[in-house]
Structure formats: structure tokens, C-alpha cells
Amino acid sequence: MTPITGQVYIGGQFRPSAEVTPVLEAATGTPLGDGANAGTADVDDAVSAARAALPGWRATPAARRAEILVALAEALKARASSTNELVTRENGMPMSLSRGVNGAFPAVLLNYYAALITALPEEEVRSGPTGHTTVRHEPVGVVGAITPWNYPQALAAFKLAPALAAGCPVVLKPSPETALDAMVFGEAATEAGLPPGVLNIVPGGTETGVHLVAHPGVDKVSFTGSTVAGRAIGEVCGRLLRPVTLELGGKSAAIILDDADLDATLAGLRTQSFTNNGQTCYLNSRVLAPRSRYAEIVEALAELAGSLRVGDPLDPSTEIGPVVSERQRDRILGYIEAGTADGAKLVAGGSIPKDQPRGWFVEPTVFADVDNAHRIAQEEIFGPVLAVIPYDGDEDAIALANDSEYGLGGTVWTTDRERAMSIARQVHTGTIGINGYTLDIAAPFGGVKASGLGRELGPEGLAAFRSVKSIYGTGPS
């Protein structure tokens, strides 16, 4: 399928955007097509269309909204193979991952929230000391949703599925790097019979996002992206007293305990530390290794990095594709230089692979002898770069894991479940996995500290798009 280029999707129609920015193929650097770069007038029109759609969509019975969400899921699934290819070309995501998280995953999430909104009562009556109160769940209103390029389809679905289920029209602002795949949501929405204006898509850069966040017609902002942008958006929303959900960066730690099964741990870290070419917010970019097994773990991780299959992301056997852009590649290479300059020891990778002169590839890289205070241990690199830090005893491991500005994810690797649970309880993050880390769509996802505010997924992800109203003096007398 040929991608839709240079268009925004407003009020159920595609139309040319104010400006365009070429979207480049990550593996080759060649243009894939013009991405929309929506201007302020496009955003104004999108918000107007969403406001016009609000009364009708919020009044649509939940069961009918759910039917449309299921139809939208089907329409996305029908396009899955071309969407997967498009995303892989745009951002370098290996095809083996693309297949799970693009066409397929948004459909799973739409079906989940369709079922949830049908099952949850809109109103419940509570009895208290002063009588009966009806507690009503109402859509929060028009949502401004801003997404990054690393999982463009999945992270948009984190917002679209619960917002649409709750009865909220959405103005989605995808990243310029992945402006093309975003249009698939528009095509699918039209096919599924989503009423015009319930979903509007205005890809663009920071300026487009800034205009959307502060727009007087927006009732709620839901943002996924960097902590720097999240802070700026949080400040605006604070001033406007506008509800905001912020899913931000991370520097999560894998804590390998001294009793861990190293083969199983390494098999897990193969994805937990490198998935999507290191461009995943929750991945374990710090590995905390017990000093008693430090040398063995460093050697195994270096071997693991060297064994990852780097290459064409469209090849289903590729494990590491290119990073999204030249800018991102240069940023990662800058961190690799900083690691060496700070005195860490490079034990794998460290440069551009010699057999990948085109596109934005970086070798899977491992640093040993890292101090947790080093920049490569504290700052989010967002590339295939691991920092291995030694520790002495469980308390030290917990302290190091918590000695971070961020608090998004993490893992504990051990053969002792009780010990793992005890450590998991003490790590200050929004999520953590034991001997693995797989998102559960029925459980809340999000971060603490500089990793964000609020939660997505699960019933909590729906609650983020509903406001509650108490109507006193109601219910059975």
C-alpha cells in the first residue's frame, strides 16, 4: 500500500497540510515521502472539529462506541502488514518487533478498552452517612495526544483506545519522523465509521505540539516523549490547570542477583536491554551485577552484544536495526565518547558498524567498570548502549537502582522469588519485572520521578480520560 503523504486528517477528511517535511528511511537515509508538518491553522481546525464532535460522541452509548472501536481494530489489522513495513522503514524498528507492536497491538488495545467500557457502569450509587450519591463517570472532553517516534502506532493506541472508549474526541500529534504511518489511523477510522471529528491527526514538530498543548479547545493533554518536553508541557498544563498525563524517559536497572541463572538472564536481557535498537523507554540500560560474579557477567554481556544480528530492519532475522535519525545516532555516539572519557571500559561495540555505511546504525555497545554517577549511567541515551555497574549486597543494588532521576521500569533476575519480590517492592519505579518484563495491558504502566505523571493501560488508563461527578441526594430513598 502506498503511504498517504503530506496530508493531515481533520473532521474525517484528508487534506494537504500547511507544510511538509520529508520522512527519511532510517536504514538508508533516503526519503520515504513527505510527512505533514501541520501549522497552527491546521491544529485550530482539528481542535474545532473535535469540539464539534464532542456532544455526539459523548452521548453515543458506550456499547455503540465499543462496536466502532472493534471495527477500528479490524480495519487496523487488515492494514497490519503494510503498517509494519512502513514503521520499520521510518524508524528502523526490526520487523520481528514491528509485527507485534504495530498493526496487531493497537487492535488488541482497542478490543480491550471496548470490552472495558462496556463492562464498567457509567454511574454508580453510593450510600454514605448523609444519604445516597450518584457517582458519574464523564468523558474529560477533547484530548490533545502527543506521541514520539519510537513506537508510533502502539503509543498512539495507548491514548486513542481509552480516550475514544471514554467518549473523548482526540487530536493526535505524531512525531515528524513517523508522520506517514500515523495516517493509517485516519484511513482505518473512516472505514470503521468513526464519526467525523472524533479522531483528527496533525503530525508536526515542537511548534505544532506547543500550539496544541495550550489550545483553549483542549481539555486534557496526554503526552509520551522525553522528560525535557514533558516538563515544558507539564508547566503549561499546570498554569492552565489542565489535566495532563506524562509518560517520559527512563534509565531502568536490571538487578542481577548472585543466585541468578545466567543463561536465562542473558536470554532475557537480549531483548530487555536492546529491544527496538535501544529506543525503548523502559529498557534496562543499566545492569547492576554482584561484584562476586562481575567479571563473568561483563564477559557474557559483551558476548551477547557481539552476537546480536545487526542489519536491514526489514529482514525478519535482524535483531538490531538503525536508530531513527542522524541526530539520534550522533547523540548516541556522543554518549559513547563520554563513557570512555569518564573512565568506563568499552567491552563491546562503540562505533558505527563497518558493514553499514548507510543509514543510522550504531553497534550494540557495552561499558564495564561504570560508576553510577557517570553520565552514561544517569542520562537516557536511547540507543543500544549498556552500562554495567558492580554492587555489593542487595541493599547496595537497591540503592543504586534508586539513585536515578528516573523511575520507569526495571527487572530483578534471581532463582529466589521471595527475594525478588522483596527487592521489587523497594525499587522506586512505576513498573518492575521479575526474570523478565512484559507489559500487561490490564495493569497500569507509567513512571515516578522524572519518568512521568499518571498511568496508561488497564482501568487506570481509562480513568485518565474520565472525570467523576458526584450528584448528591440521589439514588434509592
Closest approach of ligand NAD to the CB of residue 400, in Å = 20
Closest approach of ligand NAD to the CB of residue 206, in Å = 4
Contact criterion met (CB below 8 Å) for 295 and 262: no
Q: Of 247, 319, 363, 380, which residue is the catalytic one?
A: 247
Please compute, for residue 297, the number of CA atoms within 13 A of its CA located in the half-sphere on the CB side. 31
Of the two residues 77 and 173, which places its CB atom closer to ligand NAD in the complex?
A: 173
Measured from each CB, the residue nearest to ligand NAD is 209
Q: Which residues of 255-270 are buried (b: 16+ CB within 10 A; e: fewer)?
A: bbbeebeeeebbebbb
252 forms beta bridges with: 284
* Orientation angle between helical segments 80-91 and 179-192, nearest 10 degrees: 160
Closest approach of ligand NAD to the CB of residue 371, in Å = 23
Give the SS3 label for residue 22.
strand
Closest approach of ligand NAD to the CB of residue 39, in Å = 14
Q: Of 452, 455, 457, 464, which one interacts with ligand NAD (CB under 6 A)?
A: 452
Residue 191 parent element (H or E): helix 179-192
Of the two residues 276 and 365, which places its CB atom closer to ligand NAD in the complex?
A: 276
Segment near ligand NAD (CB under 6 A); pick from 51-59, 146-154, 285-293, 463-471: 146-154
Contact criterion met (CB below 8 Å) for 32 and 23: yes
Contact between 281 and ligand NAD (CB under 6 A)? Answer: yes
Contact criterion met (CB below 8 Å) for 437 and 411: yes
Of the two residues 167 and 250, which places its CB atom closer to ligand NAD in the complex?
A: 250
Concerning whether 90 is annotated as a catalytic residue, the answer is: no
Q: In the stretch 90-119, what mask flags binding to ligand NAD with x, by CB under 6 A?
A: ------------------------------
Of the two residues 111 and 227, which places its CB atom closer to ligand NAD in the complex?
A: 227
End-to-end C-alpha distance for the chain, whole angstroms: 60
Q: Of 92, 141, 148, 384, which one interacts with ligand NAD (CB under 6 A)?
A: 148
Pick from 119, 200, 202: nearest CA to 164? 200
Contact criterion met (CB below 8 Å) for 188 and 79: yes
Rg (the chain; Cα; Å)? 23
Contact criterion met (CB below 8 Å) for 92 and 313: yes
Closest approach of ligand NAD to the CB of residue 230, in Å = 7
Contact criterion met (CB below 8 Å) for 367 and 351: no
Q: Which of residues 191-250 bind ligand NAD (CB under 6 A)?
A: 205-206, 209-210, 213, 224-226, 229, 232-233, 247-250
Q: Contacts with ligand NAD: how many residues (CB under 6 A)? A: 30
Pick from 258, 17, 47: nearest CA to 142? 47
Closest approach of ligand NAD to the CB of residue 312, in Å = 23
Of the two residues 201 and 297, which places its CB atom closer to ligand NAD in the complex?
A: 201
Q: Which residues would be at the binding site for ligand NAD (CB under 6 A)?
A: 146-150, 155, 173, 175, 205-206, 209-210, 213, 224-226, 229, 232-233, 247-250, 281, 380, 382, 408, 447, 451-452
Active site residues: 247
